[in-house]
Structure 1
Amino acid sequence: MSSFAVPTTLAEYEASREDLILADRAQRADHKKGQLSKLEALADKVIRQVRAAEAASIWSLEYEGIPHPFPGMEFLTGRSIIVQTKLFEILGKMPKGGLLHAHLDATVNVSFLLKAAMKYPAVHVRASTALNATNIGSVLPEMSVLPQQLRTSSDITLTDHNYIPDTWVPMVKARESFDSQLGGPEGFDRWITAALTINPTEAYVTHNTVTKIWQKFASTFVVSAPLVRYEPIQREYIREFILSYIADGISYVEPRINFLRDAIPFIAEDGQRQLTHKEVLKDFQKVVDDVKAELKAQGREDEFIGAKIIYSTIRFITPEELEWYLRDCIALKKEFPHLIAGFDLVGDENVLKPLTYYLEPLLKFREMQKEAGVSEIPFIFHGGETLGDGTEADMNLYDAILLGTKRIGHGFSLVKHPKLIELCKERGIAIEVCPISNEILRLTSSMHMHPLPVLLNQGVSVALCSDDPSVFGNMGLTFDYFQVLAASEITGLIQLGEMAKDSIKFSSMEEEEKKDALAAWQKRWEVFLEYAASEGQKFLAQFEGMKVSG
């Protein structure tokens, strides 16, 4: 029976209302007011005021091409406004803990990838037809790394009307010779960039179903894979991934790497040989070690704790093929015990195979590990990245939990399942929530409709993640943190800090590593709180001055 009686006086009503609100929000970190330090309380209050001030100012203005600006609006349309805000500037300095859900092939800015590709003569591009003003928006580039004996010295270019379809052209030459009427070299860059990213028109107009936007989304990986998985580029790519995320306040990364033996191979520097998976991990570990050594030499070792990888493969393989990948994962765990964090199956849950399709090999995985004598490789499954209710994609949540998943990737439909929420809390299963990804892939139309507040109100542990930032344009984590904060009157700085801590607590680091990482985070958090309070107060003073003078 409820302890909240019907009030009979105004004073009783106000007291009961306050008690009811506090009880309803009791599981949220930012409503445990008695446990906050003076600095935390001040910074949280100031940031809430900054959010309110900008909602009434920046977001109330008119912008060309943006007919309905509001905080938490569709990201790709509102991004140009977001970067103008003081709130975004302040959050850029926030220590964000770990990034627990990102696909390595889509973590680095496309412009960096293009510049890297131009360094290597082996990188070639082709098209299915000669490019012109009529078809350039619909013809996708195809990339490849060619060994010396297959490279061409032809003068033909992609925009020449005599271009023979599917003829390989060196990337550098293709760019330099791109028709000036199509924009010249910059037009070439735009053509490639359009194939590697999702633009607002695609996200919100033309690709107006989950299926359609996923088709566009998947095509970006097909185009980028030959570049990202070319050994010398991949080394640069991993380094840029780590350094750019450190710059955004992220101190630990746990990316997923997709392994597919023949469909999406890793190519050695000579362009002829496929890299073994062992070589891929060696390269990854070397880059991580080099970055850590550089930071230590600069006295910045607390800024980066390290990296592990989640071994992933895609949900279109057969159960028999999955068993090979599970054994491969175990072999790599034996070789790199501190690098392999877990195992996942990825891809569009709405159209690819459900976890139940793979139950036989998945149920054998623990026994396979015991036989091999390796330490535990937990499942870290994607699940519930869907609008479905009772569909196979939605039901993946039941199977992920029954199979012992350590965390759940996305878990968008989890809020429909009270018992599963209860189990996540009981078993310490955190949810890797990717707000901007969910919005662009049409699971929600804006942050105001995202189920994240339901999870927070229920006391579920959450780590905010960026998923595929090179495709979506949400590099780092500041954009995702901004969207969550801007779209809620309840969520404040303290709740953001709690999610940052959860990204460390629920990471795959060893317990001693987590302890050190949390201690380092706390030091940086205290510095950030002072900065946030100071910068926020300066902004508010200027804002009030502008209001008076206006």
Structure 2
Amino acid sequence: MSFSSLSDYQTRRQDLILADRALRADHKTGQLSELEAQADKVIRDLRAAEAESIWSREYEGIPHPFPGMEFLTGKRSIIVQTKLFEILGKMPKGGLLHAHVDATVNVAHLLNLATKYPAIHVRASTALNATNIGSVLPELRPLPEDLRSSAGLIALTDSNYVPDTWVQFNKAKESFSPQLGGPEGFDRWLTAAMTINPTEAYVTHNTVTKIWQKFQSTFLVAAPLVRYRPIHKEYCREFILSSIADGISYVEPRINFLKDIVRPFISADARSHVPHREILQDFDEVLNEVKADLKAQGKGDHFIGARIIYTTIRFITPEELEWYLQECIDLKKEFPHLIAGFDLVGDENVLKPLIYYIEPLLKFRKMQEDAGVEIPFIFHGGETLGDGTEADMNLYDAILLGTKRIGHGFSLVKHPKLIEICKERDIAIEVCPISNEILRLTSSMHMHPLPILLNQGVPVALCSDDPSVFGNMGLTFDYFQVLAASEITGLIQLGEMAKDSIKYSTLEQADKEQALSAWQKRWEEFLKYVVTEGPRYL
């Protein structure tokens, strides 16, 4: 290739760059309003300024700070101190399309809820001391009233504590040894068991297998609290309220339903399992109360609502799956406004692949037709480093089965034909950047395949996945990591993903249009805020 002049080379170079980025929203410079262009420039200038003023500093315990670095390491010392994070906290995020209800509320709030219910008890496999407290997991459970009198009075930290003796939650907290931090130390012990810390994520559990073992243990510890009906109802309320506070106007969480085997929902008297339809009744009641409160405050357009993706776990048999599929249909008939779709969840690398369940999954469409309902599949797929493994192959089955969206889709970029199909069929990818990084699929945001999806024109909705475990409450942290890690991605691309999170939701078309209209109004207000307030940070 020859060039007539330096100017000719520069022109063709610019044309090539623009052609390469043509499918990204950030490329549409000529289509932006003056306000969008101004706000986008402010954010880009601020990101560049903080790259010098914030990320070039030295921080104790952080040998290599950089934008998009390991989230848990950079969160407190750097990320939350930036003006960029502060500004993004005010951004209207649209919908949250991928979050597991059992891990959506700050652990501190959950522990505070536990103090309000005398039924909640805790025990340990041995007396706790300074040597073993980091390795002994708490076990929590609501006990029926007649069993509470037999609970122990000796502190968990007393050398005379009898292993596996239940102690009432508040008594255990109050009697926790001062040498181990007293009540605050008790909360730290429980919090450590329900979350992943930087050392676990980046040192001791630095493989996918190891970190998933820790990840799954957090659910086992928290589940007896989260799935105790009185707490669960308030837990869902807090999830919705905290989402709204972060600029999220719609949520489509996944709730695990399991038939009296693992992590059942427990009744208020702690004597029986709660029917799944009553859990949906509770959720519906909370949802309606929140919406009524917002309407009374004149903020009705700040939250459109919520729908639930019915999920069960990939360790059940195909025969058992038929029962769950039928229950999902029954619940859809009773709660048509709540049931959004169906999914199978769990570690794709070790649990059963979609092909294992192909017979009942193929039957599901006919079951729906007979019942007169429509329930789309919204499958997890490709949450793996594999290439041709069973977890990676889930992508083929998810697409063949007609999935409406793909959860994670981390390995999708290895499959050009599947990318082409996602674009043709308008299948959005629920990308969970921080979750993928902490669960060891990528070492930092710079290594994440998200830019490949954006460059290929695949629709994307940013999601938080399991924020109570990872500490990425709401969506601001995920938006921040994506923005900070790229010199190309700007405010316009973030806005496009926020819009896509509404566009690719399961909302009815009229509700979707209402949600998009409300979002656009808040987006314009946010852009004005950025243009007005942003420059003073530069």
TM-score by length of 2: 0.99
Match of 1:537 in 2: 535
Q: Residue 6 of structure 1: CA displacement?
A: 4.0
Q: Residue 510 of structure 1: CA displacement?
A: 0.3
Which of residues 488, 491, 504 in structure 2 aligns to 1:490? Answer: 488
- Secondary structure of 1:83's partner? helix
Q: Residue 207 of structure 1: CA displacement?
A: 0.2
Match of 1:186 in 2: 184
Rounded Cα–Cα distance in structure 2 between residues aligned with 1:153 and 1:22: 69
Rounded Cα–Cα distance in structure 1 between residues aligned with 2:355 and 2:97: 25
Match of 1:357 in 2: 356
Rounded Cα–Cα distance in structure 2 between residues aligned with 1:149 and 1:372: 44
Rounded Cα–Cα distance in structure 2 between residues aligned with 1:535 and 1:434: 29
Match of 2:130 in 1: 133
1:18 maps to 2:50: no
Q: Residue 162 of structure 1: CA displacement?
A: 1.3
Rounded Cα–Cα distance in structure 2 between residues aligned with 1:8 and 1:130: 81
1:72 maps to 2:71: no
Q: Residue 188 of structure 1: CA displacement?
A: 0.4
TM-score by length of 1: 0.97
Q: Is the 8 A contact 2:157 2:176 kept in 1?
A: yes
Match of 2:248 in 1: 250
Amino acid at match of 1:122: A
Q: How does 1:15-54 map to 2 (within 5 A)?
A: 15-54=11-50
Rounded Cα–Cα distance in structure 2 between residues aligned with 1:480 and 1:242: 18
- Secondary structure of 2:264's partner? coil
Match of 2:464 in 1: 466
Rounded Cα–Cα distance in structure 1 between residues aligned with 2:537 and 2:370: 61
Rounded Cα–Cα distance in structure 2 between residues aligned with 1:84 and 1:299: 32
Match of 1:261 in 2: 259
Q: Residue 163 of structure 1: CA displacement?
A: 1.2
Q: Is the 8 A contact 2:201 2:438 kept in 1?
A: yes
Q: Residue 7 of structure 1: CA displacement?
A: 2.5
- Secondary structure of 1:59's partner? coil
Q: How does 1:193-272 map to 2 (within 5 A)?
A: 193-262=191-260, 263-272=262-271
1:380 maps to 2:378: yes
Per-residue CA deviation, residues 111-148 of structure 1 (Å, 9 max, x unaligned), is 00000001000001111111111110000001111100
Per-residue CA deviation, residues 377-420 of structure 1 (Å, 9 max, x unaligned), is 00000000000000000010000000000000000000000000
Rounded Cα–Cα distance in structure 2 between residues aligned with 1:248 and 1:60: 28
Rounded Cα–Cα distance in structure 1 between residues aligned with 2:152 and 2:438: 41
Match of 1:110 in 2: 107
Amino acid at match of 2:242: S
Q: How does 1:84-163 map to 2 (within 5 A)?
A: 84-151=81-148, 152=150, 154-163=152-161
- Structure 2: gaps of 5 or more residues: none
Change (3 A) 1:153 1:453: closer
Match of 1:293 in 2: 292
- Secondary structure of 2:55's partner? helix
Per-residue CA deviation, residues 282-332 of structure 1 (Å, 9 max, x unaligned), is 000000000000000000000000000000000011001111100010000
Give identity over the alignment, percent.
Answer: 79
Runs of 4+ in 1 over 4 A off after TM superposition: none
- Secondary structure of 1:499's partner? helix
Amino acid at match of 1:216: K
Rounded Cα–Cα distance in structure 1 between residues aligned with 2:272 and 2:4: 80
Which of residues 504, 518, 522 in structure 2 aligns to 1:524? Answer: 522
Rounded Cα–Cα distance in structure 2 between residues aligned with 1:261 and 1:121: 26
Q: Residue 153 of structure 1: CA displacement?
A: 5.0
- Structure 1: gaps of 5 or more residues: 541-550
Q: Residue 533 of structure 1: CA displacement?
A: 1.6
- Secondary structure of 2:127's partner? coil
Q: Residue 154 of structure 1: CA displacement?
A: 3.4
Rounded Cα–Cα distance in structure 2 between residues aligned with 1:52 and 1:534: 18
Match of 1:543 in 2: none
Rounded Cα–Cα distance in structure 1 between residues aligned with 2:11 and 2:133: 65
Per-residue CA deviation, residues 179-206 of structure 1 (Å, 9 max, x unaligned), is 1111111110000000000000000000
Rounded Cα–Cα distance in structure 2 between residues aligned with 1:188 and 1:524: 42
Q: Residue 370 of structure 1: CA displacement?
A: 1.1
Match of 1:506 in 2: 504
Per-residue CA deviation, residues 236-259 of structure 1 (Å, 9 max, x unaligned), is 111110011101000000000001
Work out the number of aligned pairs and report it: 535
Match of 1:306 in 2: 305
